[in-house]
Amino acid sequence: MSLPIFKNNHRACSPAHSGYALLLGLCLPLASSGLALAQGVPGGCGSIKGGHDYRPDRYKPNSTFPTYRSLLDMVQNSHFTPEVENLIRGQSGYIGGDLSYTLNAFPNHHRALMAMVALGEKEKTNQPAHSDHSVECWFQRAIAWAPDDNIVRMIFARYLAKANRANEAEQQLGVAASQAGDNAFTHNNLGLIYFDMKDYEKALFHAHKAYELGLGIPTLREQLKSVGKWSEPAEAPPVEPAMSPQ
């Protein structure tokens, strides 16, 4: 399974994520920069009150954490260390608890979502030990928190596709595609996921979009070539010049 290229300013996803990409006295209060009231999440996945957007450009400063980095470092140094991300051991208790804390602080924390998926796979359960919610609920919470975060939807789609839930995966990819706009990386990632799902027609469509938008990474094109599904985009027919009025 190909690893999508998630362009953000965090380090690359750990190999422990298999292709996706408890607070014990160490917690500082997390001032909310998000919703003032608790937001219910469908599917019995609880509610979200407080929390912060993982995307740096969406961060809302507050008096406790005036910068995105100050909050991110506090959370990650105490709860999302490399040992937690790679499922080696918990930092402040249990791995599932540390991941839960991270995802309660940043509901759409991309790397923590992938680590939670990997933990569920490692433990062969949808409800990892010491996790506040099921793996699927963490995705539902992330989508409720940041419905325009296409990376969350693509990670979720990969999770659903791997679970043989192609129709549900397609729904998430469809939303991401509708929100992709002129983001070449999003189109590339959509193409990679569709390729893994063997939907080569859509993979080719998004490959053409990504390269048209200037993406210089040939991975998706080479993958499509390897299965005989690559074709160059059709050239637009020349436009006849308008005739001058007589």
Model confidence over 149-208: pLDDT tens digits? 999 999 999 999 999 999 999 999 999 999 999 999 999 999 999 999 999 999 999 999
Q: Of 197 and 36, which is predicted with more confidence?
A: 197
* Residue 204: strand, helix, or coil: helix
Helix (H) or strand (E) holding 197: none
Partnered with residue 48 across adjacent β-strands are 39
CA 94/CA 30 separation, integer angstroms: 20
Using a 10 angstrom Cβ sphere, with 0-12 exposed, 13-18 middle and 19 or more buried, the burial of residue 19 is middle
What pLDDT was estimated at residue 234?
82
Q: How much of the chain, in percent, has pLDDT values that exceed 70? A: 80
User: Over 80: is that where the pLDDT of 31 sits?
Assistant: no
Closest CA to 138 of 173, 172, 110, 167: 110
The first and second tokens of residue 109, run together, are: 């924390």
User: Over 50: is that where the pLDDT of 35 sits?
Assistant: no
User: Over 70: is that where the pLDDT of 21 sits?
Assistant: no
Query: In the chain, what are the domain boundaries?
Result: 1-146, 147-231
Cβ-contact 156, 110 below 8 angstroms: no
CA 177/CA 172 separation, integer angstroms: 9
What pLDDT was estimated at residue 245?
57
Report how far Cα 178 is from the mean position of its chain's Cα atoms. Answer: 16
For all residues of the chain together, what is the average pLDDT?
Answer: 85
Non-local CB neighbours of 35 within 8 Å, separated by 6+ positions: 48, 49, 50, 51
Cβ-contact 180, 213 below 8 angstroms: no
CA 176/CA 226 separation, integer angstroms: 26
CA 114/CA 108 separation, integer angstroms: 11
Percent helix, strand and coil across the chain, each to the nearest 5: 50, 0, 50
Fold entry, domain 147-231: 1.25.40
What pLDDT was estimated at residue 38?
76
Non-local CB neighbours of 63 within 8 Å, separated by 6+ positions: 31
Partnered with residue 40 across adjacent β-strands are 47
> 238 — phi, psi (to 5°)?
-60, 145
